[in-house]
Amino acid sequence: MTTREATAALRVLRAASAGWDVPSVSFVAENSGSPFQILVATVLSLRTQDSTTIHAARRLFALAADPQAMLALDEATIAKAIYPVGFYRQKAGQIREICRILLERYGGEVPRDLDALLELPGVGRKTANLVASLGYGLPGICVDTHVHRITNRWGYVETRTPEETEMALRAKLPRPYWIEINRLLVQFGQGICRPISPWCSTCPVARWCRRVGVTSAR
């Protein structure tokens, strides 16, 4: 897939996505716009279904919506609020530690800098890029399993890991598509371009896809 074809595919998906479910972190971003809530929601979303993440985030933010209020909660209260997200006890501890660092080092504000974000507990490149792009509108490409799988399946990149995919996309994908590629491919990957037996017969971008690694499809 060429860059011209990839951007055409993303435009088609942008038009088609109006009726699709919004990914959990995008939902939080659209409803709060708070970099802190985006950061916490992304931590919650790791290894957790979107519907579970959204409900857990709502319960947690009803108790505390900023770092100071969150740090006032004990770990057990946070864990109870976010259950049943994956690794909820571990994430409760990470959230409290993140809040402590934000208050001590950054005056309660979430840093914009990618390297500073990566120093926070539980924050990897996926989370850091989501916070920078959705929270601050900065150019960033968030690569999760969907973005990694689909861009390789398209034949647009040829990479082994999400981090390699991010770097490959940074080198060739035009910047206007950087922020939205995650939302579009997460929605697309959950509904049509699934990991196993994707719905190629109903795919709106099938004409450009190289179907790399696809052994069976519907």
Check 66, 91, 115, 126 and give the catalytic one. Answer: 126
Respond yes or no: is residue 115 known to be catalytic. no
Alpha-carbon gap, residue 23 to 20, rounded angstroms: 9
- Of 50, 80, 115, 144, which residue is the catalytic one? 144
| Cβ atoms 127, 39 nearer than 8 A | yes
In contact, 206 and 200? CB cutoff 8 Å: yes
Nearest to 14 by CA among 140, 132, 177, 131: 177
- Tell me the C-alpha distance between 59 and 77, whole Å: 11
Residues 158, 1: contact at Cβ < 8 Å? Answer: no
The per-residue b/e assignment along 41-80, b for 16 or more CB within 10 angstroms, e otherwise, is bbbbbbebebebbbebbeebbeebebbeebbebeeeebbe
Q: Treating both helix axes as pointing N-terminal to C-terminal, what angle do 24-32 and 35-45 enclose, rounded to 10 degrees?
A: 160
> For this structure, is 74 an active site residue?
no
Triad 97, 23, 178: Cα angle to 5°: 90
User: Which of the residues are catalytic?
Assistant: 126, 144
